[in-house]
Amino acid sequence: MRLEHGLVFMSDTRTSAGVDNFAVSKKMFSWQVPDERSITLMTAGNLATTQSLISLLQERSVTEEDRDPSILRQPTMFQVARLVGATLREVISGSSPTGQTSDDQFGASIILGGQIKGGKPTIFMIYPEGNFIEITDDTPFFQIGETKYGKPILVRAYDSQMDFADAIKLLLVSFDSTVKSNLSVGLPFDLQVYENDSFSCDRTKRINADDAVYQAITKGWGNALRDAFQLLPSYRL
């Protein structure tokens, strides 16, 4: 999500191959060069694909001789998105003999955000085909994975002038609606806040199910919804 003050990222950690086989797996990854760039990436889709993608990006960013092409060398966020898209496409086509499409079982989608000195903070959504779209003022947030349950509250309560605390609350309410409706999404959540021109990905937190504020929000939201519902006019037939 992009705000006037910066970017906010949140991901769940549930990975599953059917309801009888699920585990906790981090889906948010960050790279930074102090005072120069901060890049955050979140994944959805086939875990083998997204792990390969991250490993390729990591290797290419740490081993000196393999550093080209590296996301730490690209001059702009747009070029980083192109590189991540090309790498994603390469990974998927390696597993999938018929090429790569959004419907593919090896598919994955990526949210990529951050800032490189000289540019503005921005966010991209990258498709399995390797192409991507950039966030705009008209579409100030992206969702990947199980997006539908949590969308209505985002549409209604988002405000670009929110402070980070309210934005995190909004993301928690959105994720909470999804968690209550779909077993493939689950706690803990990973959270990261990026303040404009900080070039730092250090403001992170893992939010567990027993987090006191999360508990207050999840319980409070159910009651608040019911109270709000009572205030609406009934429909006499």
Selected binder of a second copy within 5, 26, 73, 151 (CB under 8 A): 151
148 contacts a second copy (rule: CB under 8 A): yes
Closest distance of CB 153 from a second copy, Å: 7
**What CA–CA distance (Å, rounded) separates 154 from 53?**
29
Whether the upstream peptide bond of residue 34 has omega within 30° of 0, thus cis, is no
105 contacts a second copy (rule: CB under 8 A): no
Closest C-alpha among 163, 50, 41 to residue 114:
41
Contact map string, positions 32 to 71, toward a second copy, x by CB under 8 A: ----------------------------------------
Structure tokens at 227: 């109270």
**What CA–CA distance (Å, rounded) separates 51 from 39?**
17
Selected binder of a second copy within 170, 185, 187, 201 (CB under 8 A): 170
Pick the closer one to a second copy by CB: 209 or 213.
213
Which residues fall within 8 angstroms of residue 192, CB to CB, at 6 or more apart? 8, 9, 10, 28, 30, 40, 201, 203, 204, 205
SS3 at position 186 = coil
5 contacts a second copy (rule: CB under 8 A): no
**What CA–CA distance (Å, rounded) separates 136 from 75?**
21
198 contacts a second copy (rule: CB under 8 A): no
Selected binder of a second copy within 5, 26, 67, 205 (CB under 8 A): 205
Contact of 110 with 51, CB cutoff 8 Å: no
Contact map string, positions 178 to 197, toward a second copy, x by CB under 8 A: --xx---------x-x----
Q: Which residues bind a second copy (CB under 8 A)?
A: 148-149, 151-153, 155-157, 163-166, 168-170, 172-173, 177, 180-181, 191, 193, 203, 205, 213-214, 216-217, 220-222, 224-229, 231-237
